[in-house]
Each structure stands twice: as structure tokens, then as C-alpha cells.
Structure 1
């Protein structure tokens, strides 16, 4: 089975940018942050670039090392996300609303053409359905 590459959500790019901005404000190199958080340098780079998703535990470790509340990093990302494609800068709440709207629209994964008529018993036989252990079967 071929495993498809997971595509990050557009929000991940904004979260990565917020992490990078917070790291630079604290004058912490990417190498030092990677070492102190235990996140491999290549992974940290991909997260800052928005190419990979950042897990909650990674975000907590990053904010702990940078001595900045996790909420502050997330709010920075939400504000940027809300303004993406817009001329005005939105709020963190606007970004959250936009993010929730984007993930609540579930993509259709099953098409009508995927329906296959089931051929076989409509329901299990009474013995199979009612008698699931050996003791019950012996009394029949």
C-alpha cells in the first residue's frame, strides 16, 4: 500500500512563522532551540517553514525554552492566518473562526461510484448471533 504524503494545513505555515519570530525575538538560534527541546534540527526547520505540522507537545517544549506562553505563539499565528488573503489585519478570534471553518468542512472521501452491492447473508444465522460461547452451543 502506497502511503500518501500528508499535506500540512495552511495554518501550519503561520504557526511556523510565529515560532521563528518568537525564537528570533529571544535571540535563540535554531540549533540551540533544537538541542534544548529535543526536536531534531531538520524537523524544527520544517516546522518553522510550515512544511510539517507542529504537535502540541513540541509547541509546549518550544514555548518553555523560549520562556513565552504557548498561547502567545498561537495567537500570533492566528492573527497572521486571519489576515491571509485579506487587506486588513484580523484578530486571534477571527483567525480561530477561520481555522475552525476550514477544518469543519470534511472532504468527501467516498463517492457514489464507490458503492458496492453486498452479496451474502443479510443477517447472521440465529446460532451465530445468539450463541457466542461453547457453553451455550452445547445446550442446543
Structure 2
């Protein structure tokens, strides 16, 4: 049996729901309860496995205190030339990172650092670690 591949827009919207939910500190269970759903259904929405209806997306937007358009920011477009350079394509990795718990934790901690000099040193440290680990197989 073939596994159904989620639509890229559904995956994008789902990942934006996940990112915003995590930034708001809301669990899948809490969001599901507020929507009258199970946390498994919320998981399916966030993975793009199940499409979110317009009315449900409006409920989610209200609960997470963002406009509905938030979920479509940076969404892939069917009319984009493939292989070209675009803002949406170049920022996909950022959205993917922010949709992880580590991305949310790191972002929340980083923005609490008030000193620009300290933030720069943190960036330098992370870049040095990434460079060191990228070179090793």
C-alpha cells in the first residue's frame, strides 16, 4: 500500500501551527482539548497528514493569537520556478528549525539576552561548534 505524501501547503501550515503553539507554550493536548480534538489529531494537523479546514484554522489562529495569514507566511507556491532562488525557499530551514522544541527553546533563551555583545559571542560559539561538527563524518 502506498503511503500518502502530504501536500506541501498542508505541511507548511501544520509546521506553522506547531511553531506558534510551541512559542505560546501550549501542548498538543491543551490545543486539542480547546478544539474538541485529541492530541493525535493535532499531531496529524501539524505534520500535514490531515488538512485543516478554514473554520478550524480560524479557531486555531484565535486561540494562538495570530491572524490566519500567519500560517501561510513563507508557504511554497505552485507557480514558483523550480530550482530558483526565492525568499520562501531560502527560509524554509528557519521555519523547520523553529518548529522543533530545541529551536523554540534556543530562540526564547536567545531573545532574553539583552547585551548585543553577548548575543554576538553566542552566535560565534554556535558557528564554531557547527563548523567543527560539519567537518567530521
TM-score, normalised to structure 1, is 0.51
Measured against aligned partners, the alpha-carbon deviations of 1:65-118 in whole angstroms (never above 9, x if no partner) come to 1111112222x2xx1424896543239xxxxxxxxxxxxxxxxxxxxxxxxxxx
What residue in structure 1 maps to residue 56 of structure 2? 58
Residue 23 of structure 1, CA deviation:
0.7
CA distance in 2, matches of 1:27, 1:85: 36
Of Structure 1 and Structure 2, which has the larger fraction of its residues in helix? 2
SS of corresponding position for 2:26: coil
Number of residue pairs the alignment of both structures matches: 85
Q: Choose which of 63, 66, 69 in structure 1 pairs with 2:67.
A: 69
Matches within 5 A, 1:1-140: 8-74=6-72, 76=73, 79-82=74-77, 87-90=85-88
Structure 1 unaligned spans of 5+: 92-140
Tell me if the contact between 1:19 and 1:73 (Cα under 8 Å) persists in the aligned partners: yes
CA distance in 1, matches of 2:27, 2:58: 18
TM-score, normalised to structure 2, is 0.52
Tell me if the contact between 1:37 and 1:65 (Cα under 8 Å) persists in the aligned partners: no
Measured against aligned partners, the alpha-carbon deviations of 1:25-70 in whole angstroms (never above 9, x if no partner) come to 1111111111112122211110101111111111111111111111
Question: What CA RMSD, in Å, does the superposition of the two structures yield over aligned residues?
Answer: 2.8
Structure 2 unaligned spans of 5+: 90-137
